[in-house]
Amino acid sequence: MIQIHHLNCVEIQSAQHGRAIGHCLLLATPEKLMLIDTGVGLLDTQKPNERIGSQLIDLVGFRFNEQYTAFRQIEALGLNPEKVTDCIISHLDNDHIGGLADFPKANVHLSSEEYESFKSGNPRYLSTPLAHKPTIVTYPKSAETWFGFEARKLNIDLATNLYLIPLFGHTLGHCGVAFQHQNHWWLYVGDAYYLKAELADEQHPVDELAAIRADDNAQRITTLGKLRRFSKEHPEVKMFGYHDPAEFPDLTISG
């Protein structure tokens, strides 16, 4: 049986954009643990200027607290962080993968396009989160579909199927993650939207920030349009993003 735990592994306080969080998922079985994104890590909280840099910290508005890290939250649940075998990554921005170094034996799963963008020297990425050289498992384009979206089945031995869902735009290989649990489909959309209010409001003020942060803004807008239509056509699917603090309280009771 799989248990799902919702973890907030990032705290951001921006004078310009307000509060944001980092909504990660912990999938727990008796044999192993898996994370969907990791948030910031222990080393980020202990050596933030060295690992992230003061300029980026000030720009984003990071607030560091070791108790927010996935590692400490796993411990607080009475689980063993050493049992984390796999980390499924939406994209390689530091606030999504800073915690990877806390789980050095875990396989890291992401799209081929995202890893290629990282290796190309894209300046948005920091090298430190992958400096421990984890095992990287990449997933290329697939002919399989999920509710009309391209779906890349993850190579993880689990009682339910996990899929990377390409939601490109924010980064060149940005993906969501779809999985079924207790007869419900879930779709984690990462940074495909910052706030769920964007699904209803095409002129939401946060769109300006999202456009600035997008590697391909035209593709980001196309992806967001697909998610708007999907949310109307499939309200039965539990969809959520990474940064919206208003979404998180409704989802913190594990399924």
Higher pLDDT, 225 or 15: 225
pLDDT digits (tens, 9 = 90+) for 237-249: 999 999 999 999 8
Element (H, E) at 136: strand 136-139
Q: With contact defined as beta carbons under 8 Å apart, do 13 and 22 qualify?
A: no
Tell me, what's the pLDDT at 252?
65
* Token pair for 175: 């993906």
pLDDT at 255 over 60: no
Tell me, what's the pLDDT at 187?
98
pLDDT digits (tens, 9 = 90+) for 91-123: 999 999 999 999 999 999 999 999 999 999 999
Q: Which domains does the chain have, with CATH numbers?
A: 3-251 (3.60.15.10)
Q: Pairing relation of β-strands 152-153 and 162-166?
A: antiparallel
Residue type, 186: W
* pTM for this prediction: 0.95
